[in-house]
């Protein structure tokens, strides 16, 4: 469990791991970053009172490095990745290990079930759980069991991880997808088991949401630079939206100033279709019951969707054109 500034969630996350109904030997390796909110003190106290909790320190703000330190320090052959922002169902480990052994997979994942407190975090959670919010990744929805592109968090064979070189420490986001890409490329099986469900607490402010999705988009753009068309097509939807909005805005200025007019203006106006259709989708969310119980909830949900898509899309364009350049997700380091 890589941990950094998670004082509000860390006790529940640790409790959910220690409460696992798993008969085999197990431990929790917590990799502590340089937290400033009391997280370090909470984890240190837990480790002092429970021998199952081991602490490894990492002074760098790097999740892949933290994961690799934890894997190298682990005493067992099966690695269960967990996050401090998540809570596991009591039989998660037992079910995941059973699926790993049954399928022969190198990496098994389940479903991310986002949940929230209050109007904004609850709206963000609904967006995470919606196909519209995150583009229909299998672990965000009701996909059936079987081979998968990636695995959320992951119950993994340590031997396979070591064979492909563990997590790429040069990445700051997208490390799960990239690791599972290399596992599949090496001939290993990555498996989705929807019976495995993990409660996830998303960001809880507008600024943190925007920073998180901008960073995620930047690193997806970097991965596209590296791997090209070997990325899923759904990753190209947000940057396509951003590109269409930029073209539409530029054309509108030219039309309003008279630089483009007549038949040319009429033909080129097709570029306004993308942003117009997107605006209609957002307006449609205001009358969609699944967007929230009240009009205020649905309006918040529509805004969350727009922030997710546009932040991710702008980030992707930046990462694709200029590279990630060591960009980090500051949604954990800034208020």
Q: Mean pLDDT in runs of 10 for the chain (335 residues)?
A: 92 94 94 92 94 94 93 96 93 97 97 93 94 68 82 95 96 92 97 94 94 94 86 88 96 95 94 96 95 96 97 96 86 64
- Angle, helices 237-256 vs 273-285, to 10°: value is 120
CATH pick for 2-203 out of 3.90.1200.10, 3.40.1010.10, 3.90.550.10, 1.10.3720.10: 3.90.550.10
Classify strands 190-200 and 86-88 as parallel, antiparallel or unpaired. antiparallel
Residues in contact with 329: Cβ distance below 8 Å, sequence separation at least 6, in sequence order: 172, 173, 211, 212, 215, 216
Q: Please give the model's pTM, rounded to 2 decimal places.
A: 0.86
Helices (H), 63-136: 63-73, 92-103, 118-129, 131-134
Residue 329: per-residue pLDDT? 80
Residue 335: per-residue pLDDT? 55
| Burial degree of 94 (CB within 10 A; 0-12, 13-18, 19+) | middle
Residue 235: per-residue pLDDT? 87
Helices (H) and strands (E) in the chain, counts: 13, 9
Angstrom distance (rounded) from CA 230 to CA 228: 5
**Could you say which DSSP state residue 144 is in?**
P
Angstrom distance (rounded) from CA 214 to CA 221: 11
Under a CB-based contact definition with an 8 Å cutoff, are residues 14 and 53 in contact?
yes
Residue 4: per-residue pLDDT? 92
Angstrom distance (rounded) from CA 148 to CA 141: 13
| Torsion of Cα atoms, 200 then 205 then 208 then 211, to 10° | 110
Residue burial 186-209, b: 16+ Cβ < 10 Å; e: rest: eebbbbbbbebebbbbbbbeeebb
């Amino acid at each position: 469990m890589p941990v950094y500034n998670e004082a509000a969630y860390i006790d529940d996350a640790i409790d959910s791991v220690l409460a696992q109904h798993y008969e085999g030997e197990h431990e929790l390796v917590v990799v502590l970053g340089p937290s400033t909110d009391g997280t370090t003190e909470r984890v240190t106290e837990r480790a002092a009172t429970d021998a199952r909790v081991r602490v490894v320190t990492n002074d760098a703000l790097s999740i892949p490095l933290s994961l690799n330190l934890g894997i190298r320090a682990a005493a067992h052959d099966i690695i269960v990745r967990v996050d401090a922002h998540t809570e596991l169902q009591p039989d998660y480990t037992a079910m995941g290990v059973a699926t790993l052994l049954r399928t022969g997979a190198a990496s098994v994942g389940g479903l991310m079930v986002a949940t929230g407190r209050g109007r904004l975090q609850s709206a963000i959670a609904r967006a995470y759980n919606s196909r519209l919010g995150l583009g229909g990744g299998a672990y965000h929805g009701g996909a059936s069991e079987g081979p998968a592109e990636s695995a959320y968090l992951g119950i993994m064979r340590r031997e396979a991880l070591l064979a492909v070189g563990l997590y790429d420490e040069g990445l700051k986001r997208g490390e799960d997808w990239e690791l599972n890409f290399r596992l599949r490329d090496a001939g290993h099986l990555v498996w989705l088991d929807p019976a495995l469900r993990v409660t996830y607490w998303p960001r809880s402010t507008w600024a943190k949401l925007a920073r998180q999705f901008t960073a995620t988009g930047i690193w997806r753009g970097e991965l596209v630079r590296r791997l090209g068309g070997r990325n899923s097509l759904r990753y190209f939807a947000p940057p396509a939206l951003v590109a269409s909005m930029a073209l539409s805005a530029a054309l509108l200025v030219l039309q309003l100033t008279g630089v483009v007019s007549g038949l040319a203006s009429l033909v080129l106006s097709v570029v306004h279709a993308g942003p117009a259709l997107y605006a209609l989708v957002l307006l449609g969310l205001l009358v969609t019951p699944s967007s929230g119980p009240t009009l205020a909830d649905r309006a918040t949900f529509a805004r969350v969707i727009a922030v997710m898509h546009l932040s991710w899309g702008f980030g992707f364009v930046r990462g694709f054109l200029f590279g990630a350049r060591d960009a980090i997700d500051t949604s954990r380091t800034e208020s």
